[in-house]
Amino acid sequence: MAISIKISKTNQSRIKECDFENIEFGKIFSDHMFRVDYKDGMWQNPEILPYGNISISPALSSLHYGQAVFEGMKAFKDPSGNPQLFRPLDNYKRINQSAYRMGMPAITEELFIEGLSQLVKLDQDWIPTKEGSALYLRPFMFATDDFVGVRPSVNYTFMIFCCPVNSYYPKPIRVKVEKTYVRAFKGGVGFAKAAGNYGMSMLPTMEAKKEGFDQIVWTDGEEHKYVEESGTTNLFFVLNDKTVLTPEIDGNILQGVTRDSCIKLLREGGYDVVEKKISLKEIADAFNEGLLTDAFGTGTAALIAKIESIYNEGENYILPNAEDRKVSNWLYKKLSDVQTSKIIDTHNWVYQLV
Ligand code: COI
């Protein structure tokens, strides 16, 4: 049975206040949002309502114990102006993997997909069409019991809001290999898109920024010998414009939807993609032998973020100029052309909304 979502439209759209030519990432919100509450063991009263503040208790358990998970997705327009999502079912699966690890209930596929679809259709005029821009979608779930003891919450809220965005990183990034702090370890929550994974990254990233870097590269928690992911993206390293290395999925890193799309597109484009443990020594050797021709991060927000330099304990590996990056330039175009239907989607990744 199709679900019924109550829709209350705003009587005052803010779209005219949005300067689509100069959007700062994550600061502008579209007119509406989706909300559904989990009470008495079931999701209840799904609704789309005007975007705005929500009222919470100071004892809200997610604020204290961190039962909060989220997703990042994007909506685009095809060349005829019709709205579409990119691989929404993959994000649906991942939010439930994250929720499971945090002891939270699963959101149903119907609520996730219908909530997203109806919200994006309603706010489709907010989808920017300038190259590199999109409507960023933020589904998230958090515990809502007002209770101070430590136990899984009984009540939860799932919501989605939307932000028109340009690229997350306007220019190539300088990264620093992090060897003091640890993001993930075996049996931990590294694979989950849990709010706490980002909370604990703030201090190390702040320290790196003070030293002039844009981002950190996490290394394994046991030896700080292998690269894992950056603070906002999965990582790829290119040897001789031919072989592409990326850390394997091992429970510690986020199973990026963009990562997976990039691996598939690269393989189809004739590149050898190797998913494995990648040591810092391997990266250093490749750089010193002149083989490291490209390096980049991938993520929904960042799409393909070129890495300008990698700093590792006193050594700074400076990579070729951004314009000369054969692989990341090819991949960026290919991926954005699929997402905006400028080329045929042979993978069934595009989810049309009309
Ligand atoms: C995303 O890429 O969607 C993320 O959630 C990363 C965040 C830093 C914006």
d(CA 110, CA 2): 8
240-244's contacts with Cβ under 8 Å and 24+ in sequence apart are: 240/291, 240/293, 241/293, 241/294, 241/326, 241/327, 242/271, 242/272, 243/271, 243/272, 243/273, 243/274, 244/271, 244/272, 244/273, 244/274, 244/327
d(CA 308, CA 173): 5
Distance 297 CA to ligand 1 centre (A): 12
Residue burial 59-74, b: 16+ Cβ < 10 Å; e: rest = ebbbbebbbbbbbbbb
- The label of the residue with tokens 């515990």 reads 143
State if pTM tops 0.95. Answer: yes
d(CA 76, CA 133): 8
Structure tokens at 165: 């965005």
pLDDT at site 201: 98
- Set out the domains of the chain in order of their start, with CATH numbers: 6-165 (3.30.470.10), 173-339 (3.20.10.10)
pLDDT at site 170: 93
pLDDT at site 1: 53
pLDDT at site 205: 98
d(CA 288, CA 243): 17
Pairing verdict, β 42-50 and 6-7? parallel
pLDDT at site 107: 98
Q: Please list the ranges in the chain whose pLDDT falls under 70.
A: 1
d(CA 37, CA 32): 17
Which residues, listed in sequence order, are joined to residue 39 by a DSSP beta bridge? 42
pLDDT at site 2: 75
**Cβ(66) – ligand 1 distance below 6 Å:** no
Distance 303 CA to ligand 1 centre (A): 10
94, 168, 254, 335: residue to mutate for ligand 1 pocket, most atoms within 8 A of CB = 168
Distance 40 CA to ligand 1 centre (A): 32
pLDDT at site 39: 98
Q: Whose CA is nearest to atom 5 of ligand 1?
A: 72
